[in-house]
C-alpha cells in the first residue's frame, strides 16, 4: 500500500484525541500500532509527519525519535503525552514537538505543519 504525504499516528487507541482531532481537520491518518511499521514507512518516504500517542503505546519516546532521526533528520515528530512528566529530553531533539493530549494543542500543531 503506497502512502503519499500521509500523517502517521502511532497508537493502540482508535478513539484517541489525535485521531478525532485529525479527522475533524479532514486528515485521514495512517494508524500504526508498532514502532517498526512506522519506521518502515519513514524509510520508504511515506510520511509527512508522525504523531506518537504516548498514552496509548508501549514504545519509548526517545528511542522512537532517535530511530526516526536515523532515517530522516527533518521529519516532524509530535509526541502527545497527557502527563509530559520527565519527557523534556525528547523535545530537545530537532523538529520534535512535545504537546499535551488536549485537542486544541493537537489541532494547533497539525495546522502549523500540514
Mean pLDDT (10-residue bins), the chain, 114 residues: 69 91 91 94 89 86 91 92 63 76 85 84
Cβ count near 36 (within 10 Å): 10
Contact 81, 101 (CB under 8 A): yes
Instruction: State whether the Cα torsion 70-29-31-56 is positive or negative.
Output: positive
pLDDT value at residue 85: 59
pTM of the model: 0.85
Q: How much is the pLDDT for 4?
A: 46
The pLDDT score that the predictor gives to residue 67 is 94
Q: What pLDDT score was predicted for residue 95?
A: 79
Computed from CA positions of residues 106, 83, 19, 38, in that sequence, does the dihedral angle turn out positive or negative? positive
**What integer pLDDT is reported at residue 11 of this predicted model?**
94
> For residue 72, what pLDDT is reported?
92
Which pLDDT score, from 0 to 100, does residue 6 have?
87
Please count the helices (runs of H) and the strands (runs of E) in the chain.
Answer: 5, 5
CB 79 within 8 A of CB 99: yes
Q: What pLDDT, on the 0 to 100 scale, is given for residue 1?
A: 38
Amino acid at each position: 500500500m503506497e502512502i503519499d504525504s500521509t500523517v502517521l499516528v502511532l497508537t493502540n487507541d482508535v478513539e484517541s484525541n489525535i485521531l478525532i482531532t485529525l479527522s475533524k481537520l479532514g486528515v485521514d491518518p495512517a494508524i500504526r500500532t508498532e514502532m517498526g511499521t512506522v519506521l518502515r514507512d519513514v524509510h520508504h518516504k511515506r510520511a509527512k509527519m508522525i504523531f506518537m500517542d504516548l498514552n496509548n503505546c508501549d514504545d519509548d519516546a526517545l528511542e522512537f525519535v532517535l530511530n526516526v532521526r536515523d532515517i530522516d533528520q527533518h521529519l516532524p515528530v509530535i509526541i502527545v503525552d497527557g502527563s509530559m512528566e520527565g519527557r523534556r529530553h525528547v523535545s530537545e531533539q530537532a523538529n520534535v514537538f512535545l504537546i499535551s493530549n488536549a485537542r486544541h494543542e493537537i489541532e494547533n500543531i497539525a495546522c502549523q505543519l500540514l
